Amino acid sequence: MKQIFILLFVCIMFQTTSFGQHGVMVMKSPGNSDLISIYFSSFEYNNWPSSYVSSSKIRQITLLRYSHGQKKERMPESKVVTEYDSIGNEIMRQIWYKGKPSSTHRTQKTSIDHGIMSISEWRGKNNKFMRKALVTWDSVARKSTYSYQYKENGPFLLSNETEYTPFKRLSKQLSYNKKGQLTALWIYNYHESSPEEIKRIEKYNGKGKSVSVQEFGCNSPGAVASLAKNFIQDCKRTDKDPMGNRIEIEEMQQGKKRIIVTSKFNQNNRLIEVEMKDGRNNLIKTGRNEYNAAGQLIVAQLFVKGNKQAALEKRYFYEGKLLHRVVFSEKGKEKAVTEYRFDYF
């Protein structure tokens, strides 16, 4: 059961949408399969699309987080300051916790022969070097690499390598340890008649031994008596409610374990509900989103086994198009407040 939950990413995660909104979402897995993820974190980062930051001429976004009962005139529990260049790319992020510097992340981007290269650097307290990351993209080979520098001025060690198909879909992924040894390999197979539709994902360990096979398709809908422990059947289909709104249903089975995820969308194709059940039709988690007339997310809720007493909730408040304040509550009690401040060019 543990492996299927890992592959399902059955955690609860935030969605980044047009104006930095977050809420219940359907998450993209490495197999391009929409899987449930309904995560409520007590802390939010500044994740804003570069196109919006650029068009709004935003130079800096400051996030302030106050815990329940904390007076606003006092120092916030945590602070995140993100700076952007004139075209909306993040160039530096600084984090403070209880008034003390926690970490700094700087990113530089330059053009190279076949694509884009970015260098990111992380430093901790007292400006201590933590690590540096180098990302390269080769448009001819359709390959990207991600390397880390763990010691200041030391060599960059390859961490991940990804290859793509001519249709910009994943073809192969390789993962390496700090010694440069291959630890995992994923191979993606697509339908010949539909080269953008995933058919199978094969995972191998560093020694080439098969770890798992994830098969996509609905040739045999419904539960199967039993599957091999390393085989995962993934069936996704689309339906409509009486009003014509889209419904997505995904069934995944590994061995005798089965998970069913149902996602419902409104007339504007925005996700309004995600429901997860086990093979016996028992409810596991339910997530719900609410939007205002402008299409902005205003409420995101999570219920565990349908229990409202275990409800987690976030309410979003805006000033025009900009997200201004987020209130996080648990079991009906306010737990934290996040505020955003903007500086412009």
Would you give per-residue pLDDT tens digits along the chain (345 residues)?
A: 444 433 332 332 333 333 444 455 443 343 323 333 333 333 355 667 788 899 999 999 999 988 865 555 567 888 999 999 998 888 998 989 888 888 888 887 665 555 667 888 999 888 899 999 989 888 888 999 999 999 999 999 999 999 999 988 999 999 999 988 999 999 999 998 888 888 999 999 999 999 988 888 876 545 555 667 778 888 888 999 999 999 999 888 887 888 898 999 999 999 899 898 988 889 888 888 899 998 888 888 888 777 765 678 889 899 888 889 988 888 778 888 889 999 999
Range of the structural domain that residue 285 is part of: 2-344
Are residues 104 and 94 in contact, defined by beta-carbon separation less than 8 angstroms? yes
Amino acid at residue number 181:
Q
Query: What domain count does the chain have?
Result: 1
Q: How far is CA 79 from CA 15, 120, 123, 194, in A?
A: 21, 20, 16, 47
Are residues 253 and 224 in contact, defined by beta-carbon separation less than 8 angstroms? yes
Q: The whole model's pTM is what?
A: 0.74
Complete DSSP assignment for 235-277: EEEEEE-TT--EEEEEEEEETTEEEEEEEEE-TTS-EEEEEEE
Helix (H) or strand (E) holding 55: helix 50-55
- Helix, strand or coil for residue 97? strand
Complete DSSP assignment for 210-235: EEEEEEE--SS-S--S---TTEEEEE
Question: Residue 14 has which token pair?
Answer: 């935030």
3-state helix, strand, coil in the chain (%, to 5): 5, 55, 40
